């Protein structure tokens, strides 16, 4: 199992647990973070340098990415697995796959979560098909991109929706002396180091403006587990006016307790919607990345999946790039918090978008586990066969 970022680390852990429920005849090794470590899979090196964002940032980190890809390939080849599962993180995983394929072509390579070919750079479908043996993707709309290249594909659905673990908002509030009528604003500042630099400051500033304008509101900030120490170092004074949540097991409870969330774009937006938390999304990347995406690469008008599946309409407000200004985010947040009808309307709109995203049947991790075991046991029909 190879996971390069927080969301991939979580999914990798869930898939490991699902596989272990199906069979005891399996041995794991892995490269990842805290989630994989929690199920006994210790990474041979630190993956946090992979938490990069954008084209220009990627170029600057290229040397580090190559070194880590080499180290990952070394660890994989030494373990001699039947199959390798490469979770998300397109650029890094592609390099790992290419290195393993060149050195040990007998090892089956499985990509868990494909690149967003439906939104940008569809040519990556051909690249991936030439590099791995099997793809586990999230959406039905992805499979047709790979069909011309003969890459076997299984749709697993959105992992965030499969989790569907209801948070206990009342428990969260009671533990902190927050009344049922008191308002809670939750801030989710991102899971990458670059997001702590480019997105988190705007969200923190916006939340501070909300705290000054909405009487009695409680501000709760929940950094991703892999970014907790980095967040504390970057924002040492935030605990003076907000509560910083360091308990990952309370994350869903905090979402369920929130009247409103200010979130960095990413997997967390689907999780917030599942917990019934109205949200406002922010995002900013490097200007070169932005220019390339808007001018040449990205085919959608929005970046939040809830919006994309809603015919690319802005169901969730997005404050992206030049619009990512604390005062703009705060103005919308304050207006919503002072009008419960607006919050209810936002929650309803998000629920309708969720219906469009939800599939049927087993969990994403369970579907992925079945496919991975099939490939590892040589039961799946692969291109080279």
* Rg value, the chain, Cα: 21
Scanning the structure block, which residue is given the tokens 């703009």? 328
Mean pLDDT of 274-291: 83
Query: CA nearest 254: which of 343, 340, 168?
Result: 168
Instruction: Say if residue 49 is exposed, middle or buried (CB neighbours under 10 Å; 0-12, 13-18, 19+).
Output: middle
pTM, full prediction: 0.68
What secondary structure letter does DSSP report for 151? -
249 within 8 A of 214, measured Cβ to Cβ: no
pLDDT given at position 222: 96
Tokens 């043996």 locate to 133
Token digits for 308? Answer: 């994309």
Structure tokens, 69: 């890809």
pLDDT(43) > 80: yes
Q: In a 3-state reduction of DSSP, which class is residue 279?
A: strand
Helix (H, G, I), strand (E, B) or coil at 184: strand
Tens digit of each residue's pLDDT (9 = 90 or more) over 176-228:
999 989 999 999 999 888 899 999 999 999 999 999 999 999 999 999 877 88
Angle, helix 340-357 to helix 326-337, in steps of 10 degrees = 110
Of residues 122 and 1, which shows the higher confidence score?
1
Mean of all residue pLDDT scores within the chain: 89
> Where does the pLDDT of residue 299 fall: very low under 50, low under 70, confident under 90, or very high at 90 and above?
low
Which pLDDT belongs to residue 356? 76
């Amino acid at each position: 199992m190879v996971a390069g970022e927080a969301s991939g680390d979580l999914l990798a852990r869930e898939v490991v647990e699902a596989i272990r429920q199906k069979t005891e005849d399996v041995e794991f090794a892995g490269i990842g973070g805290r989630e994989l470590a929690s199920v006994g899979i210790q990474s041979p090196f630190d993956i946090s340098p992979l938490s990069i964002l954008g084209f220009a940032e990627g170029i600057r980190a290229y040397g580090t990415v190559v070194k880590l890809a080499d180290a990952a390939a070394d660890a994989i080849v030494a373990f001699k697995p039947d199959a390798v599962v490469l979770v998300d993180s397109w650029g890094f995983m592609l390099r790992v796959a290419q290195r393993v394929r060149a050195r040990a072509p007998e090892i089956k390579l499985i990509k868990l979560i494909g690149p967003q070919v439906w939104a940008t750079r569809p040519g990556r479908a051909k690249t991936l098909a030439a590099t791995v043996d099997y793809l586990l993707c999230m959406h039905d709309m992805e499979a047709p991109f790979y069909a011309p290249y003969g890459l076997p594909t299984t749709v697993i659905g959105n992992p965030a929706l499969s989790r569907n673990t209801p948070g206990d908002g009342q428990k969260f509030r009671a533990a902190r002396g927050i009344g049922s009528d008191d308002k809670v604003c939750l801030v989710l500042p991102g899971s990458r180091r670059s997001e702590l630099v480019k997105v988190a400051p705007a969200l923190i500033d916006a939340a501070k403006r909300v705290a000054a304008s909405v009487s009695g509101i409680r501000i709760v900030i929940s950094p991703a587990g892999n970014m907790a120490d980095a967040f504390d170092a970057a924002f040492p004074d935030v605990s003076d006016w907000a509560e910083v949540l360091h308990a990952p097991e309370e994350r869903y409870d905090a979402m369920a307790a929130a009247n409103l969330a200010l979130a960095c774009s990413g997997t967390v937006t689907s999780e917030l919607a599942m917990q019934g938390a109205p949200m406002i999304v922010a995002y900013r990347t490097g200007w070169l990345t932005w220019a390339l995406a808007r001018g040449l690469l990205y085919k959608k008008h929005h970046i939040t999946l809830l919006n994309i599946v809603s015919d690319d309409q802005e169901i969730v407000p997005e404050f992206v790039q030049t619009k990512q200004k604390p005062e703009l985010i705060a103005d919308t947040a304050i207006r919503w918090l002072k009008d419960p009808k607006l919050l209810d309307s936002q929650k309803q709109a998000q629920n309708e978008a969720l219906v469009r995203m939800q599939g049927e049947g087993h969990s994403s991790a369970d579907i992925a586990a079945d496919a991975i075991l099939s490939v590892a046991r040589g039961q799946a029909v692969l291109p080279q066969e």
